[in-house]
Amino acid sequence: MNLKIIAGTVVAGIVLATGAVGAVAAQTATSPTTLSEAQAIEIALKEVPGTVQETEFEREGGKEIFEIEIVTADGVEM
């Protein structure tokens, strides 16, 4: 009887530990790894001077992408 309780506790511990690792991996996978939103905006404004209208973080083809919409002084949306 005691062997069943110990085995059940070990299995429950393994399941809980695996779930915790999965949660950490999922959280890490959804956050930008090397570039902050502020850094992405700074880079974009160096390439296209203007006013930032919208910023969006998305994942395309396994890559993390900041999409930044800028309106130039001429009113052109880039």
pLDDT for residue 31: 52
| Confidence (pLDDT) at 14 | 44
Give the pLDDT band of residue 62 (cuts 50, 70, 90). confident
Helix (H, G, I), strand (E, B) or coil at 48: coil
What pLDDT is attached to residue 60? 87
List pLDDT tens digits, range 3-60.
444 444 444 444 444 444 444 444 445 554 588 999 999 999 999 999 999 999 998 8
d(CA 62, CA 39): 21
Other CB atoms within 10 Å distance of the CB of residue 55: 15
Which pLDDT score is estimated for 49? Answer: 95
